[in-house]
Amino acid sequence: MDNRTLKNLLYEQVARIGKAVSSPKRLELLELLAQGEKTVETLASELSTDIKLTSAHLRALKEARLVTARREGKYIIYRLAGSDVAGLWVSLRQVAEEHLLELKMALSRMVADPANLAAVSRETLLEQARRGDVMVLDVRPRDEYAAAHLPFARSMPVAEIEQRLAELPADAEIVAYCRGPFCLWSDEAVALLSARGYRVRKMLDGVSEWQAAGLPVEWGGVSP
């Protein structure tokens, strides 16, 4: 094999990854699976697509070795092939945010009130949570919290917040997070709690962003 042919082969292999993530739905699948393993049925519901199309997207990701699958009874369960795949999603999104004006504008519309964003660094927030000065609220589904969550975070899915207000501190700031910058559950939590007089902000980071920044996360367990 001559050098040109070898170089072509190398770039072709890397291009397999680019081709696999060239679909918006496949990118969303990576973000969903970064929260933990899920069945095809759950993923189809999250994507608002049928199971056949979702399965086709998952096959493309599997052929590129970005996800793996296992069978459990009648269900096929998918997961990311490694934490580096979650990092790939974060990196792609960050590059897009940096260079695509259209994405910047869309994100600015999502964050209607910048005052609702947590204004401290990740490291400062971690220290504040450790001291108990801030309650970090994970508003994702319970299974995603169990798969991985930020240190000192309490699990409170957004659908449960109204029934669990008594568990929240009246004298400490609350910082809510969900799956990352594209996730709207934290906005719902901020709106709900602000209307009830709580001091609450949202954090754009999810678990994947936290890990990509080299910060610790916790696995399993029950919410404190």
- Catalytic positions, please? 178
How far CA 79 is from CA of 19, 26, 61, 120, in Å, comes to: 19, 13, 11, 32
**CA nearest neighbour of 43 among 12, 9, 67, 10:** 67
**Helix pair angle (40-47, 51-63), 10° resolution:** 110
Using the Cα atoms of residue 56, residue 60, residue 66 and residue 70 in order, give the sign of their dihedral: positive
The tokens of 134 are what? 């801030």
**CA nearest neighbour of 134 among 223, 212, 195, 198:** 198
Q: Could you report how far apart the first and last alpha carbons of the chain are, in Å?
A: 59
CA distance 104 to 99: 8
Q: How many helical (H) and strand (E) elements, i.e. helices and strands, does the chain have?
A: 10, 7
Q: Is residue 64 a contact partner of residue 19, using CB atoms and an 8 Å limit?
A: yes
Entry field: residues in the chain: 224
